[in-house]
Amino acid sequence: MSGKLLSQLGKLWLALILFFLYAPIIVMAVMSFNESQYYQLPFEFSMRWYEKLAANAEIIDAASRSVMIAVVTTIIATLLGTAASVALFRFDFPGKRFLQVMLFPPIAIPWLITGTAMLIFFFGVGLGRGTPSVIIGHVALALPYVIVVVSARLATFDVTLEEAARSMGANGWTVTTRVTLPWISSGIIAGALFAFAVSFDQFVVSYFLSEPGDSTLPVLIYTSIRKGFTPEINAISTIIIVVSMAVMLFAARFSNFGGER
């Protein structure tokens, strides 16, 4: 086969992937502006579902809870994860390899299983269900992602920069804040985005750990779909997609996700 043909097949493949990735999203976004509740064509532009959404206290409530949980999770997971990455990078201690290896299974274990285990655990320790349990669960899920991303950035860090700073009289705190953190800041931003996404998208663990009536947005969407789908869901989903794409593009503008600038 000629290289030209291969390259054209490759382009076709890429086009198909993009089509299957974005077509459903575009259909959903378009339908959120359609007057008909039952996806009837012809398309008739309307803001009806957005107006209904604005009046739907349940969805607004769940959405703001989801954002709150995601923000708290992001802050905690990013702080802990960055600190852990720096410690794993800088120090040698017994069990370090074991600890590093144990970071990966939580990414691979199905959330269904993690969620069940967490539910049993939280009842076992007397915490039960509720927003604090959800946040702890989300932090536990997000932490490995932050550590993996920040560690990948740290691996490109030249340790002699820290040595140079120390030779000029800088103590550990100054070295970390003035030399190490600026270098890994793009990794930290990428890690924080991952943490936010893991928490905000999280359904299984949230479903197990949240109390009825205190649902997060994914849990609420799931239960609403079971009751009967309304284009309000399209509307909120469209808003979420626009906001998260904006955040991604904004972040990509300032870092290229842990790689070399």
Partner 1 sequence: MAEVSVQNVTKKFGSLKALDNVTMDFPDGGFFALLGPSGSGKTTLLRTIAGFIFTDGGTIRIGDQSVEHVPVEKRDIGMMFQNYALFPNMSVADNVGFGLRVRKVGAAEEKRRVGEALDLVQLGQHGDRKPHQLSGGQRQRVALARAMVTNPKVLLLDEPLSALDKALRIDMQVELKRIQREIGITTIFVTHDQEEALTLSDKIGILRDGRMVQAGPPRDVYNNPHDIFTAEFLGEANILSGKGDAPSALQSPGADIRLPSNAGTNPVLAVRPENMTITSAEPDEDGLSKMPAALVRRIFSGAMATCVLESNGTVFKVIARDQDIPDLPEGGQVWLSWDANKTITIPSNVS
Positions that interact with partner 1 (CB under 8 A): 158, 160-161, 163-171, 174, 178-179, 182-183
Shortest Å, Cβ 236 to partner 1: 40
Nearest Cα residue to 182 out of 37, 249, 82? 82
For residues 119 and 179, which CB has a smaller minimum distance to partner 1 in the complex? 179
For residues 105 and 182, which CB has a smaller minimum distance to partner 1 in the complex? 182
Shortest Å, Cβ 179 to partner 1: 6
For residues 162 and 232, which CB has a smaller minimum distance to partner 1 in the complex? 162
Shortest Å, Cβ 186 to partner 1: 11
Provide the sign of the torsion angle of the four alpha carbons 142, 145, 148, 151, taken in this order: negative
Look at the block and give the residue holding tokens 């705190």: 173
Q: How far apart are CA 220 and CA 65, in angstroms?
A: 11
For 24-40, give one letter per residue: b (16+ CB within 10 A) or e: eeeebbebbbbeeeeee
**Integer Rg of the chain from CA:** 22
For residues 152 and 239, which CB has a smaller minimum distance to partner 1 in the complex? 152
Shortest Å, Cβ 101 to partner 1: 25
Q: How far apart are CA 204 and CA 32, in angstroms?
A: 26
